[in-house]
Structure 1
Amino acid sequence: MSAVYINSASCISVQDTLNEDFFQHLTPENSSQVIKAIEPNYKEFIPAAMIRRMSKTVKMSSVASHYALKEAGIQQPDAIIVGTGMGCSQDSEKFLKNVIDNQEEFLTPTFFIQSTHNTVAGQIALGLQCHAYNFTYVNSSSSLEFSFLDAKLQINDGEAENILVGSTDEQTERTMELYRLNNTIKKSEDIPFDYLNSTTDGVIWGEGSSFFVVGKEKTENSYAQLKDIQLRNTLELDETQNFIGDFLAENNLTGNDIDAVILGFSGDAKSDVYYAKAMDLFPNSALLYYKHLSGEFNTASGFSTFMACHILKDQQIPEVMRINSVKKDGIKNVLLYNHLSGHDHSLVLLERA
């Protein structure tokens, strides 16, 4: 199989990740139940008349994809693939509210049309006038990983050379209320807390949009080589180490070959045990975490992939991400492990380009 490279990376998140020096200004958050993304000035990228009709996730994705394509020097990608867990939740809620308020009569179709999960990929294609392959994956916390896998297969099969791959999720008021009621979001009395040693269930919920250009050829801007991806819907706790060990073995690696491991510790005591189990495999690796910077959400792995790309390219690790004190002379292999509430486990292996 031919090599596949990540040639650009862009992210809108709770951190100011659109700024070039964001590495020096990463700020942990553990005192709010919900944290919102830092949004750019959309008027610089999107016509004012269109902004009013776009939900937050579409606006974030439009800007993040713009930056990703610009950095890669690509005007027309050969495919657009987007992963999202919740899709355009704001418009979904608006449509359902209209149904109730109007007693199912005299409904305008706009919110319904814009509420579908593939709206994001469609709007990006419309903006670019791109008629190429356009697909959306909705697979909870592994939505981005399925998107990467699709892109990797297309490039290996010779069907595309440069593909825009992204992930996005937004917050909505009603959904956040429901998440508080079912204890998905951590109770206010349990905040603040230690992400790595939490004794309570629930998470701090975030949002964001991350986009990458995946290409067949290595360029001067290449961040990483996308080596391999492994996905598992359900996993018993005692299967965790075999799941990871087998994945490394398939790539002719051992735990000692991994320079940095990025784990999705979310502060949810019930599901973080998987990450604790995984750490035992990497006594000589730099162990990192990131959801204290991004919050938990369906496609939070987009933020970790973005961070991994910069770690590989810049050859430095932000101190705020460190779990242990292991430091390497050089960073070649980075492993990303993520899941959401103990389901949809994903492994992504990146190698320095």
Structure 2
Amino acid sequence: MSTVYINSAACISAQDTLNENFTENFKPEQSVQIVNTIEPNYKEFIPPAMIRRMSKTVKMSSVASHFALKEAGVEKPDAIIVGTGMGCSQDSEKFLKNVIDNHEEFLTPTFFIQSTHNTVSGQIALGLQCHGYNFTYVNTSSSLEFSMLDAKLQINDGEASTVLVGSTDEQTQRTMELYQLNNSIKKKENLPVDFLHSKSDGVIWGEGSSFFVLGKDKTASSYAQLKDIQIINTLELSETQQFIEEFLHKNNVKKENVDAVILGFSGDAKSDIYYKKAMDSLENCALLYYKHLSGEFNTASGFSTFMACYILKNQRIPEVMMINQVKKSTIKNVLLYNHLKGEDHSLVLLEKV
């Protein structure tokens, strides 16, 4: 089985992550119900006539994928794989609104065509004139992990040498209203949020787009080696530590050799107990969290993967992400653990190159 490298990483998020010195300006978001991305000037990357027809998630993905391919020095990847939880929900809402407003008559198909989840990967492929393998995973919070697992298999099987892998999700007004009604989003009276010691349910909702180029060859721009990925739909709280220990054992990594663990604390008291359980057996590692920077959303793990790549390459952990004060002299192995509302648990192991 060949080695798989992450050769580039680009992210559009609630932080200014397209900026070279983005960690110096990290601003935790703890006092709002919904956080928006810091968007680039799309006119610099996309023709104005096309911008008008693109939803936010397509625009974010087009720019993030551009940066990822440019950094990796790849003009046209062999495959494009995208993970998304909600897809192009802005266009979905527009289409449904048209259905209602027009009493199901005289409908134009544009919004419906653009609302499909695979619009993102399709638009990127059209822009690059890439006719290779093109796939979209819609697996809620593990969409990126499934995408990376597929890319790893494509490379290991010799089907591709370079794969563009991305994750993206956008906010929409109506969906956010529904999330507030079912208490998925924090109530105003529960703000500001103490992400690590929250006593209330619900999260601060975010959005973002993260893209990576995976390849079989190590390059000058390589960030990390993608060692392994494991995904499970449901997990009993009592099985959390065993889930992590068996994953590490499978990869011949002892717990004491894990240098940093990035946990998906979201401020939701009901589901964050999994992360607290995981911490009990990983106290000798540098424990980190990140959703106070990105917000919670289906593919928020894209932000944590981006940050893990940054940490491995620069050998530096931003203070704002630290839960404990453990600091290893060399950061070699980084473990990522994420889930959404206690379901779709994923583990990703990255190693320094």
TM-score range, shorter chain: over 0.9
- Aligned partners of 1:3 and 1:51: how far apart in 2? 38
- Aligned partners of 1:222 and 1:160: how far apart in 2? 17
Q: Aligned partner of 1:213: which letter?
A: V
Deviations 1:202-228 (A, max 9, x none): 000000000000000000110000000
1:57 positional shift: 0.1
- The reply on whether 1:17 has 2:17 as its aligned counterpart is yes
Q: Aligned partner of 1:177: which letter?
A: E
Instruction: Using structure 2 for the length normalisation, give the TM-score.
Output: 1.00
1:282 positional shift: 1.1
Q: Aligned partner of 1:295: which letter?
A: G
- Aligned partners of 1:179 and 1:147: how far apart in 2? 26
What does residue range 114-153 of structure 1 map to in structure 2 within 5 Å? 114-153=114-153
- Aligned partners of 1:134 and 1:221: how far apart in 2? 24
- Aligned partners of 2:255 and 2:188: how far apart in 1? 38
Equivalence for 2:287: 287
1:152 positional shift: 0.2
- The reply on whether 1:112 has 2:117 as its aligned counterpart is no
Equivalence for 2:344: 344
- Aligned partners of 2:162 and 2:318: how far apart in 1? 30
- The reply on whether 1:28 has 2:25 as its aligned counterpart is no
1:283 positional shift: 1.8
1:29 positional shift: 0.6
- Aligned partners of 1:88 and 1:58: how far apart in 2? 8
Equivalence for 1:37: 37
1:333 positional shift: 0.0
- Aligned partners of 1:314 and 1:193: how far apart in 2? 30
What does residue range 237-316 of structure 1 map to in structure 2 within 5 Å? 237-316=237-316
1:255 positional shift: 1.2
Equivalence for 1:72: 72
1:26 positional shift: 0.8
Q: Aligned partner of 1:91: which letter?
A: D
- Aligned partners of 1:351 and 1:321: how far apart in 2? 19
Structure 2 spans left out of the alignment, 5+ residues: none
What does residue range 46-195 of structure 1 map to in structure 2 within 5 Å? 46-195=46-195
- Aligned partners of 1:193 and 1:212: how far apart in 2? 31
- Aligned partners of 1:133 and 1:154: how far apart in 2? 9
Equivalence for 2:207: 207
- Aligned partners of 2:78 and 2:22: how far apart in 1? 30
SS of 1:209's partner is: strand
Q: Aligned partner of 1:189: which letter?
A: E
Structure 1 spans left out of the alignment, 5+ residues: none
Deviations 1:228-252 (A, max 9, x none): 0000000000000000000000001
- Aligned partners of 1:209 and 1:86: how far apart in 2? 12
SS of 2:61's partner is: helix
Q: Aligned partner of 1:87: which letter?
A: G
Q: Aligned partner of 2:179: which letter?
A: Y
SS of 2:196's partner is: helix
- Aligned partners of 1:239 and 1:254: how far apart in 2? 18
Runs of 4+ in 1 over 4 A off after TM superposition: none
Which segment drifts farther, 281-290 or 167-176? 281-290
1:169 positional shift: 0.0
Instruction: Using structure 1 for the length normalisation, give the TM-score.
Output: 1.00
- Aligned partners of 1:300 and 1:66: how far apart in 2? 20
C-alpha RMSD over aligned residues: 0.4
SS of 1:63's partner is: helix
- Aligned partners of 1:221 and 1:129: how far apart in 2? 24
1:24 positional shift: 1.1
- Aligned partners of 2:64 and 2:253: how far apart in 1? 33
Deviations 1:169-207 (A, max 9, x none): 000000000000000000010000210000000000000
Q: Aligned partner of 1:227: which letter?
A: K
1:254 positional shift: 1.8
Q: Aligned partner of 2:321: which letter?
A: M
- Aligned partners of 1:162 and 1:264: how far apart in 2? 28
Percent identity over paired residues? 79
What does residue range 314-329 of structure 1 map to in structure 2 within 5 Å? 314-329=314-329
Deviations 1:326-346 (A, max 9, x none): 011000000000000000000
- Aligned partners of 1:243 and 1:177: how far apart in 2? 35
